[in-house]
Structure 1
């Protein structure tokens, strides 16, 4: 599977359950092995561990959110900046202000245990924790999963704001309407391969997108195998 993400863009990966969306993000983050080429800001990431990828300002929010439920909201946020701390950065004032501006409820609940938060607040905290690492590319795995429509709207709005702030976003979503509504470009995948791709607005009205969610195996147009590029091209294209 090959795809490309431009700087300052939101790129969505949509597909049915089992299509390989989570596996793709896990491989890009170094949580699963990958072959081929994964280039981020001109650097090859294949063979590099998760810490190295985080240091290079790549971050991921997993579908399970994986919060430290017995720690406070503030402590969870501080842990998001752990690698920066280990590299000598001790001032997180601006980072807390940024996260609190995006998610005011996290400031209100800064002393509250993460395990006592609602589902929407947990998702906010998971995204906020990732932002504490100051990523240039943020990968989000099913951020709308299990959330009420109103909360989903809040999360999607924040994703759009991140793009405006210069953060590239690779968004995995089964909720095609939400994903294509905010993305600049999108890839529909089937059985671990790119079935079709294009500007998100075009895919949103393409009847073939229905086939992905029905699990059809008839879609053609697979891309070449094994190259993912997060460099800063003028446009976005599959390779």
Structure 2
């Protein structure tokens, strides 16, 4: 049986900001329909990793290494070309249009599909509303009036409007109450059924590993550990450094 090609294959990815190396020789794989988590402390380089994969590094940053998406080397492609191929990043800041309605923010997520001439570019609107019933209730409401959890739902929903094959989430639980965090991760887990591959960046190691297939631990710009998520949950080093801290914080 022929082995399927990974959605994302990163090999030897390094990122520098001037003389400072923020990420060193990172290698990871995300398969079709998988949820892969990268956990680690604040400042470890997690967001840098996502931005490099997406081609969204600031001008002061430079990267080298191999980034293969659907078996195509995309390392030299601009962010717009990566998005058009089905890569999508939900940034930590969410970057919603606060004065626009929930529905208009969602429609903007399908803009590239509309520009590409897809007649059915709004075909994901109802599926997004089924996934996030609260957004449907607030579809006419300005995005800036939503709660933190609802804004996170809207950011993910807007990304799904583009029908991504690879969805990258940067700290989706950041700043949210524990009950809302549980709801957000339940929804992320449910996305697996849509077939989208998910690369999840999180400080909440316990919640991330519980819904993931595979995990990586990033420390000071390098992967210190990797393995099936269930194995990492029982790894003494992970328990002591991350899961213990998360447990105390709940």
Distance 2:211 2:132 in 1: 19
Please state how far the C-alpha of 1:82 moved relative to its aligned partner: 1.2
2:218 to 189, 202, 205: 189
| Greater relative contact order (CA < 8 Å, ≥ 6 in sequence) | 1
Residue matched to 1:77: 106
2:86 to 39, 44, 57: 57
Residue matched to 1:130: 159
Please state how far the C-alpha of 1:90 moved relative to its aligned partner: 3.5
**Superposed CA offset, 1:15-62 (max 9, x none):** 001100011001111101421100000111111111111111000100
Moved more, 91-100 or 21-30: 91-100
**Superposed CA offset, 1:134-180 (max 9, x none):** 00110000001111111111111111111122111000000000000
Please state how far the C-alpha of 1:94 moved relative to its aligned partner: 2.6
**Is 1:206 aligned to 2:231, yes or no?**
no
Residue matched to 2:27: 2
Residue matched to 1:220: none
**Is 1:150 aligned to 2:150, yes or no?**
no
Please state how far the C-alpha of 1:120 moved relative to its aligned partner: 0.3
The answer to whether the Cα contact below 8 Å between 1:81 and 1:132 also exists between their aligned partners in 2 is yes
Distance 2:125 2:196 in 1: 17
Secondary structure of the 2:48 match is helix
**Is 1:20 aligned to 2:45, yes or no?**
yes
TM-score (norm 2): 0.83
Residue matched to 1:159: 188
The answer to whether the Cα contact below 8 Å between 1:15 and 1:212 also exists between their aligned partners in 2 is no
Any unmatched runs of 5+ in structure 1? Answer: 215-239
The answer to whether the Cα contact below 8 Å between 2:99 and 2:142 also exists between their aligned partners in 1 is yes
The answer to whether the Cα contact below 8 Å between 2:92 and 2:170 also exists between their aligned partners in 1 is yes
Please state how far the C-alpha of 1:212 moved relative to its aligned partner: 5.3
Q: Which of the two has greater strand per residue?
A: 2
Runs of 4+ in structure 1 deviating by more than 3 angstroms, as ranges, are 210-214
Residue matched to 1:30: 55
Number of equivalent positions: 214
The answer to whether the Cα contact below 8 Å between 1:189 and 1:196 also exists between their aligned partners in 2 is yes
Any unmatched runs of 5+ in structure 2? Answer: 1-25, 244-250
